[in-house]
Amino acid sequence: MATKSYTTIHLGYKLSPNTFEKRSRTAAEYYAQPCGDVWFNTRHWKTERIVNEAKALKLLAERTRIPIPQFIQCG
């Protein structure tokens, strides 16, 4: 399976055979789009949302037996 990537208004995703990456779009990516400044300024807590999701995955992996994908990196 080849690497697939796509973006939504606020997030970018990359899926490969062994990894899944989710990230907030950068300011440059917003500003490259029509009305990008509007979308960038209306998305509050952009970084905090991703960090919170990463912390939740780590917590579940450490304290439960729920099968969680291996966490690699956040930041």
Query: 41-50, pLDDT tens digit by residue?
Result: 666 777 788 8
Instruction: Note the pLDDT tens digit of each residue in 1-54.
Output: 678 998 887 788 999 888 888 888 777 777 777 766 766 666 677 778 888 988
Number of structural domains in the chain: 1
Q: Residue 53 falls within a domain, yes or no?
A: yes
Residue 61 has pLDDT above 80, yes or no: yes
- Structural domain includes residue 72: no
What is the extent of the structural domain holding 48? 4-63
Query: In the sheet where 20-24 sits, what is the strand order?
Result: 4-7, 11-15, 20-24
For residue 22, being part of any structural domain is answered with yes
Q: Is 74 domain-assigned?
A: no
